[in-house]
Structure 1
């Protein structure tokens, strides 16, 4: 840490990286006051802010005390805020903020930048990988349908459902970014934030409160930088071994249907690790499609004999997974119990508060109440773990309304972004206390700061069943890479997508291409979608089953490779899916390439993401790359390869220590179109 005093300003650097550049004419800090309005409709938010004032903090005074630098900013002749800059024991730069004006609740900090710098991260971003040139509101929410205001799908979703979304909407935002200059910056706040990367010489970080602190550090490599980030936020545990034994089939409809579909898949040669039955606790039909009965216990009518069948399946090497979320269905047993014990969020006057989830209403379990938190962990332990579930989707987390009242006395506006982390912690602790961390898989779509140490794996959320770059299959690649840089190195998505609305229907080609993509990720899992009858499914025809069987053979063939990636992620934070620049830092093209990634150090994957395409143009960094299907060797640059169904563009490094394994991918697939 070094502070250089100038005639009318200062420059603060850390490990040679300029962090703050301040002068009277170009201040690095603005403070103000504002009043926000949050209008939530089924997890989608219309947010407006009335800024009452925005004051430049031009005047400052510097004081050095021991190993700390105190910078006091003043406005209108009054001390307004104090920055306390110091290096932590780990060598990171930490700038704590102490407000002298409690009435100020708007904060804008400018981090020094260069015109050529590229920026990544901010949680899980799906439309853009390099965030430069755009601003990103950071508020956990439904991501919206279509996520592009210029598309017909988004327009329809907005008109009919108030649910269209935009490029920045995400289940998992985080006020942290990674720079191509190999530093990260994190703003510690749970308030609504907006990171603006549209300016050549600064990045403006906005928060609707005075944040606790800014944390920055710089490393010599991206591998060290990600390890550093995980040192702050935590590491995901290793994947359970059984997850790598095949696909987790998304099936609904009851015990007999589940077993019948598993058997048909196995007879077709599909390697099946488990069945994920999200309707294990019953279903509700709505205009949106098939929804779930949010009372988290086995539904004996829909799944008869599951209490014994679940253990029989496990003896056959097949795991059974379910579903849960942090809300309880009004007037059902868990709701009634929680309401009686005072475990639900309330209105301001303490009266009943429920949330509209789309033609049914639910109570919000108040995780700020320690007794409620422990109670819900108990629900997970008793109704799910003791029952025999080997995993589940821990859904939602984004819906905390800003007008409910919580037991810890904090504003729900400030707690909203933190809710996914609290929800992840609840699941993680229930599993950990049951001694099942190495054997149970739970996955979430929502997230925020600190989820890394609690959420065992992310899934990409509710993509459309189409090829759209904003909200279809390609968007998942950006999602995996951006969240991986934040320390969430195990990521996957619904094979085939989920959202089936406004004329969208999944076809065979999309399902097959998505399955090809999933075979080169840490987890393979399918989903029927919200309207299963409208979508092509894994067992819709023999051709799809044969193709899925081939992709699961590839996936299980790669088990030792993926297992090593999971272990590396747990120990160092190195993500399984990596941007090309992670290992090719001096290659300028590697920072701009879209829709391809390194799967570990030695596989390069470029999924086919355009409908009807049978070739793919892609970029190879300088190295010796062997095309897994033809055996042809390439030495780098832009190339175009044939990519028929069943042969997604995949290359391995010729000098890889795993070359013997990777060279047999085509043989393992053994697929004839």
Structure 2
């Protein structure tokens, strides 16, 4: 594919496979450059970023010189556009200009998706999306009291665009995709129906353009570009991962799950290395080592892990790229030069993570990447039998640190999750366990796909709210899948419990119904486990989790098929409906139901108190209700959805039809 330039009366068009990508006219220049004047405030992973650009130049004149386009203002070259193949590079020539705003051509009614992992909106049309990895916030809705409280307490309320994993990539319903190949701060702006604007905080903006006949082709191309994940291990898709963080008593609680008939593949104890109590709730100690705190919390851990392994149950842990000042590893890391430093002296740069300070491990330094992968993830975790972990955080790199490689922290910030993923993948590979040991991340950016085998959707509130509740994990999986992430899952039961928000029995039941139809099913006790219901709090909840864990395990052959598809084509396990039915424009905005592969359609109940919901069945063939066996014609239906029987349909012609039909028996319907 090659970009081609065509003269127009007062400008030019750049086309790819017959589709206009860039349209420059005297009254509507394709490129604007300016000088940036940013203001950046960070508090505990929450950022306030503002810019007051000045001296903007909108060059209207143009001329083609050899293989480049010169955009001129008053006869002087202001910017240069180069294009080769399907790549496009724009450079600001004027001295001191470090903002480039590029207007890509838009057509009336064009739909837009992408932006990395978005939590609030699958379709991006009509909104701005700053691309900056950060805490997504608590509440994420400026009209709610919870968001207002969290904003007042530390800029922690968030907004619709905040994401652990943003990515400057968008797809359009003309089946084009545009990727900004830069880690700098940027903004995807789709508020103008006449243009798709990308604002880059850089002197050079390089774009990669993709075109395909259908959305599946675009997803295939993007997954190939960013790198495809290894297939998930059999154990991860063959049963539920039970999250417990009660020290050694977690093992006794695990037995209750097993006795209830749960299909359990692993126990996940994020508190394996010790805990501390804070006003936010029970936090981990942030010292990833088998030491005094680990021995106190989990005596004889290595032996307990071996005993579980003999029963085909894995033990999973937790790590993040920070080390607490009061932990055993801090001094070792400081002595080895493994921390980011302050800009004004050689002191370790410390970050307040909420009542305790930590050093930031400097992953721009090769020796440090090797040290963390070998010393911590290798010797302290993999070598004692830990089969996987939550690789948490990655979004917190401050913009005023001094980095070993001399790079600008404003540019390194978005790259940080990718470096963190590389370190985890390096540790797994060093023990020959790629495709067996499994780590999962919430933070990401362009290129994380090549290293991180599994996403999780971050820290949802324990409720049904529109912008921070159970439904956001569907949007997260669908949006991330479009830019090359094959596998996503969530904290079954939610995580964040603050200011009186606690789990209800209904929420825990509905989350089970949703989690069973993700490639990995994993529960979480949340940030305040003592204040909230857990899946083993009552017999009914324990039975609910057990039933849906068996459904998840029953679908393992289908999940393996989806893993094979992901390796071959890059298609994600959970897919927006339009991915397979691109001719049905009404599906472009659907984000509350999804295709699990091509053959299962899942419409989870994500509204509190609902006992029925509207379901869209696409295509031209009937869909069969998994629980009743009733066939439904394509179209819009109001479907009964009592607790225990969410709307799930399958294609009767699927080669997995008998497997799907067997779910009702497994569930006990």
- TM-score tier, shorter chain, comes to over 0.9
Match of 2:368 in 1: 372
Q: 1:634-663, CA deviations, whole angstroms, 9 ceiling, x for partnerless residues? A: 111110111111111100011111111111
Q: 1:401-433, CA deviations, whole angstroms, 9 ceiling, x for partnerless residues? A: 001110111111111011001101110111112
Give the SS at the match of 2:477.
Answer: helix
Q: For the residues of structure 2 that align with 1:646 and 1:22, how far apart are their CA atoms?
A: 56
Q: For the residues of structure 1 that align with 2:353 and 2:565, how far apart are their CA atoms?
A: 39
Match of 2:336 in 1: 341
Q: For the residues of structure 2 that align with 1:436 and 1:180, how far apart are their CA atoms?
A: 40
Give the SS at the match of 1:504.
Answer: coil
Match of 1:33 in 2: 35
Residue 218 in 1 paired to residue 211 in 2?
A: yes
Match of 1:188 in 2: 181
Residue 243 in 1 paired to residue 236 in 2?
A: yes
Match of 2:226 in 1: 233
* Cα pair distance change 1:434/1:101, threshold 3 Å: farther
Q: For the residues of structure 1 that align with 2:348 and 2:553, how far apart are their CA atoms?
A: 50
Q: For the residues of structure 2 that align with 1:195 and 1:376, how far apart are their CA atoms?
A: 35
Match of 2:534 in 1: 537
Match of 1:290 in 2: 282
Contact 1:489 1:573 survives alignment (8 Å): yes
Offset of 1:217 from its aligned partner? 1.0
Residue 56 in 1 paired to residue 45 in 2?
A: no
Where in structure 1 are there 5+ consecutive unaligned residues? Answer: 88-92
Offset of 1:331 from its aligned partner? 3.8
Match of 2:622 in 1: 624
Residue 464 in 1 paired to residue 457 in 2?
A: no
- What does 1:378-417 correspond to in 2, within 5 Å? 378=374, 379-417=376-414
Contact 1:157 1:502 survives alignment (8 Å): no
Match of 1:90 in 2: none
Match of 1:268 in 2: 260
Aligned match for 1:129, one of 122, 126, 136: 122
Residue 116 in 1 paired to residue 109 in 2?
A: yes
Could you say what the CA RMSD is over the residues aligned between the two structures, in angstroms? 1.1
Match of 1:207 in 2: 200
Offset of 1:146 from its aligned partner? 0.5
Residue 485 in 1 paired to residue 482 in 2?
A: yes
Contact 2:117 2:477 survives alignment (8 Å): yes
Deviates more, 1:533-542 or 1:565-574: 565-574
Q: 1:219-240, CA deviations, whole angstroms, 9 ceiling, x for partnerless residues? A: 1122211110012100011001
Match of 1:659 in 2: 657
Contact 2:168 2:179 survives alignment (8 Å): yes
Q: For the residues of structure 1 that align with 2:129 and 2:491, how far apart are their CA atoms?
A: 25
Q: For the residues of structure 2 that align with 1:464 and 1:188, how far apart are their CA atoms?
A: 33
Match of 1:45 in 2: 47
Offset of 1:245 from its aligned partner? 2.1
Q: For the residues of structure 1 that align with 2:402 and 2:564, how far apart are their CA atoms?
A: 41
Offset of 1:388 from its aligned partner? 0.9
Match of 2:323 in 1: 328
Q: For the residues of structure 2 that align with 1:373 and 1:398, how far apart are their CA atoms?
A: 17
Offset of 1:212 from its aligned partner? 4.3
- What does 1:494-573 correspond to in 2, within 5 Å? 494-573=491-570
Offset of 1:57 from its aligned partner? 2.0
Q: 1:23-68, CA deviations, whole angstroms, 9 ceiling, x for partnerless residues? A: 111100000111212111100011121212221121221134xxxx
Offset of 1:162 from its aligned partner? 2.3
Offset of 1:102 from its aligned partner? 4.6
Q: For the residues of structure 2 that align with 1:123 and 1:630, how far apart are their CA atoms?
A: 37
Give the SS at the match of 1:351.
Answer: coil
Give the SS at the match of 1:595.
Answer: coil
Contact 2:92 2:100 survives alignment (8 Å): no
Give the SS at the match of 2:636.
Answer: strand
Give the SS at the match of 1:386.
Answer: helix
Q: For the residues of structure 2 that align with 1:522 and 1:37, how far apart are their CA atoms?
A: 41
Offset of 1:76 from its aligned partner? 4.2
Aligned match for 2:359, one of 335, 357, 363: 363
Deviates more, 1:43-52 or 1:535-544: 43-52
TM-score by length of 2: 0.97
Where in structure 2 are there 5+ consecutive unaligned residues? Answer: none
Contact 1:45 1:141 survives alignment (8 Å): yes
Contact 1:238 1:438 survives alignment (8 Å): yes
Equivalent residue pairs, number: 661
Aligned match for 1:302, one of 294, 297, 302: 297
Q: For the residues of structure 2 that align with 1:161 and 1:189, how far apart are their CA atoms?
A: 29
Offset of 1:332 from its aligned partner? 2.2
Q: For the residues of structure 1 that align with 2:65 and 2:630, how far apart are their CA atoms?
A: 64
Q: For the residues of structure 1 that align with 2:324 and 2:483, how far apart are their CA atoms?
A: 34
Contact 2:131 2:186 survives alignment (8 Å): yes
Q: For the residues of structure 2 that align with 1:594 and 1:217, how far apart are their CA atoms?
A: 24
Give the SS at the match of 1:666.
Answer: helix
TM-score by length of 1: 0.97
Contact 2:576 2:591 survives alignment (8 Å): no
Q: For the residues of structure 1 that align with 2:281 and 2:489, how far apart are their CA atoms?
A: 24
